[in-house]
A and B are shown apart, each in its own frame.
Chain A
Amino acid sequence: MDSATLLEKLSTMLKVDQINTNHDDLYDASADRYKKYAKARKVLDVPLPVAIVYPDSTDEISRLLMFCNQNNVNVIPRGGKTATEGGLENWKELTIVIDALRLDKILKIDDYNMQATVQAGVPLQQLEDSVRKLGLTTGHSPQSKPVAKLGGLVATRSIGQFSTLYGGIEDMVVGLECVFPNGHVSRIKNVSRRAGGPDIRHIAIGNEGTLCYITEVTVKLFRYFPENNQFFGYLIKDVETGIKVLREVMVNGYRPSVARTYSEEDAAQHFYHFHKNQCVLIFMAEGNVGMVKAIANGIEQAVEKFADGILEKVDSKLIQDWFNHLNWSQKDIDDEFEGMKENDSHAGFTTEISADWGTIPLIYKNVMARIRSEFPRAGDLTMLGGHSSHSYCNGTNMYFVYNYKIKCNPEDEMRIYHHPLQTIIVEETLKLGGSMCHHHGIGKYRNEWTKEEHGSAYYMLETLKNAFDPKGIMNFGTIYPQEDGKKYR
């Protein structure tokens, strides 16, 4: 099938205003924030999709997927467009983007059973604003909350800034509806728990558009007590001290909603008003009065235990102020994009990994040492550091952050800077048994390590693809390595 025939066929299935072939919009749809700089400079080397379509219903999505499956048309599901790892990048000539724009309804907010059901295209901020009016919260607060949509958030296994208390999206999703390439619609019912065989929600959660299209999601709701929030901040000796305090809090069973440790460099860019070139440790205790009191106690005890590494307490008001301005709005994203058109710079990149408590400091140390000694453009780095921002009973994550003077052509930036840096981080993480992708998903550029990430369990991942998407029409190149995609590296 050629693109003209594809468009003709689409026009028999959808109304005119459901099919977008505007050149600028197709260019925008051909890549995500992974290649943000090349994209802003208009030098992307990937094919444009043939169309972006806006289905009105699950039924329409089912018919579209069936059609694409029969005709070998690649499909990229799309939500809020905040993907960072190439999940929205197009690697096929014959591709359509199925955008959840019109699946924008909040279907039900059930404040007795504490759950809300929404269509995939509802922005998280909109849902959060609606439930806040009832004194509730979804508990999900990724930095991209103002822009990201529920379908995308579930498809990437996203995590929010209050995860230590509320969990990642996988802890929040109760049930969902999704559509497979053969058109089959599966509805996973909403129950508090069950032992009905393997938890099939996890086939859809985190699939990054490679197995099915998520059309509807039901998430948990929680009581919200903002008036009780307490903030804690400390300047600390080193990252290791911070990790030890985080561990102490977690293993003692306390669940602050925020628990973070920043390296000196990362602290300097976040806390310009108080960092004093030191590492920073911060907490937020949230919930009902009794809970907050207990958590606050737990934090103070842990800090006391590692007093040797604590340099100074920070005014809690400063932490609160900082926290209130952390999210990225669409305007922030657009401003960065405009800035990249003019300047040889951007806001930097990140790579997020996870491991157990004992391993995280080692990975951090090894990565820093290797980048400084091995990365050919180390002299161009303007920032290299990291923070741990999501902790669990048995370990934590490390969010490596870096920026550099871009001294190359825009089309070469990823090959010269971000990818070699990401490679070092991923290699050092996998070497010590950590995970290379804590919450952004694998996308298209970490797929070269998917097999290593999963080891012998890759068999299960591969079998899922073969079973649900045997013709490989769903988001070609994402998660699953593809020989034919290597040319875009």
Chain B
Amino acid sequence: MKIVCLIKFVPDVEEFKYDYQRHVLIRENLKQILNPDDACAVACALMIKRSNPETVIEVVTMAPVSVSGHLEDLLRLNIDQAILISDIRFSGSDTFATTRVLARYLKQTTFDVILTGTHSLDGSTAQVPSQLAEVLGLPQMSNVVALDTSSFLKGKPSFDVEHDTSIMTFSVDLPAILSVSRDSAYKLPYVAYQDLNRDVSSRIRVLSHQELDLQPQETGLEGSRTEVRRSFVKNMIKKDKVILNNDREGIEAVYCYLHEHGFVP
């Protein structure tokens, strides 16, 4: 059984600071993190591997080589190998071009299932998994919140999908693409202390334009069909901090605020 986890590293938007004077986001020193939905997908794969140690997990990402450190941390978590698809010519790729690059690699390899996230923190279009399914001719489902390991190991997994107010259970023939949601309970474990400095670099394979046999016009801005007309940062208004006492007046003020904003009747 081989699981491919398609993952992406994104800026940690929770750490974004906003300059209220100039109305711009302060992007300096922003850390990259594993996209939260993708982290759940990897955690789900690790859970499967725990019940079936023969399972091979490969993480695949299209990213600059600067993410190698993050990939190494994943490899220290019982992930078998990492594919880093990296080339300066990929920069500027939209979801269409990204799909093309990823599909090129995935067509060359074998797998039983692709686990990925549903949304990414930065773009959040959720387009790549479904476009990939289209290109590879595979069934695909998003918003997966739970996956049943035993049916998975029998080759026809059943899984729960969250949809607005309901949770529906599906099953699917493999191979398939399942996009996991961060609303699932899957949590990526931490690297154990004794493994923190374990050398795993030999298990990262870097693939460039050339190895994937791509043409220059297939990737980057040239290979993209999306045109960004205009982008802008939403203006935010700085609110003054109000400190209230724990007395009748303070409680009343908090209640009125919650009421006005529809949190309490």
Residues of A within 8 A of B (CB): 272-273, 379, 407-409, 411-412, 415-416
Contacts and interface: CB of A to CB of B under 8 A. Distances in A.
A273 B243 contact: yes
B192 A412 contact: yes
B193 A408 contact: yes
A408 B196 CA distance: 10
A409 B243 CA distance: 36
Interface string B214-226: 0000000000000
A409 B31 contact: no
A232 to B, nearest CB: 21
Contact of B189 (A273, A409, A415): A409
A407 B191 CA distance: 9
A462 to B, nearest CB: 32
Interface string B159-202: 00000000000000000000000000000011111001000000
Contacts of B31: 379
A407 B190 contact: yes
A411 B31 CA distance: 26
A415 B193 contact: yes
Central interface residue in B190, B192, B196, by most chain A CB within 10 Å: B190
Given A272-B243, A416-B193, 15 more contacts: A273-B243, A379-B31, A407-B190, A408-B191, A408-B193, A409-B189, A409-B190, A409-B192, A409-B193, A411-B193, A412-B190, A412-B192, A412-B193, A415-B193, A416-B196
Contacts of B192: 409, 412
Interface string B225-265: 00000000000000000010000000000000000000000
Contacts of A273: 243
Interface of B: 31, 189-193, 196, 243
Nearest to A411: B193
Lowest 6 A-B CB distances belong to which pairs?
A: A412-B193, A408-B190, A409-B190, A415-B193, A273-B243, A409-B192
Nearest to A376: B196
Central interface residue in B31, B193, B243, by most chain A CB within 10 Å: B193
B173 to A, nearest CB: 37
A416 B193 CA distance: 7
B15 to A, nearest CB: 10
A276 B253 CA distance: 23
A42 B196 CA distance: 22
A450 B141 CA distance: 60
13 contacts: A273-B243, A408-B190, A408-B191, A409-B189, A409-B192, A409-B193, A411-B193, A412-B190, A412-B192, A412-B193, A415-B193, A416-B193, A416-B196
Contacts of B193: 408-409, 411-412, 415-416
B96 to A, nearest CB: 35
A409 B77 CA distance: 12
A37 to B, nearest CB: 13
Contacts of B190: 407-409, 412
Nearest to A409: B190
Nearest to A408: B190
A326 to B, nearest CB: 16
B209 to A, nearest CB: 33
A409 B191 CA distance: 7
Central interface residue in A272, A379, A407, A412, by most chain B CB within 10 Å: A412
Contacts of B243: 272-273
B50 to A, nearest CB: 15
A416 B194 CA distance: 10
A407 B188 CA distance: 11
Contacts of B191: 408
A412 B189 CA distance: 12
Contacts of B189: 409
A142 B31 CA distance: 41
A409 B196 CA distance: 12
A273 B31 CA distance: 31
Contacts of A411: 193
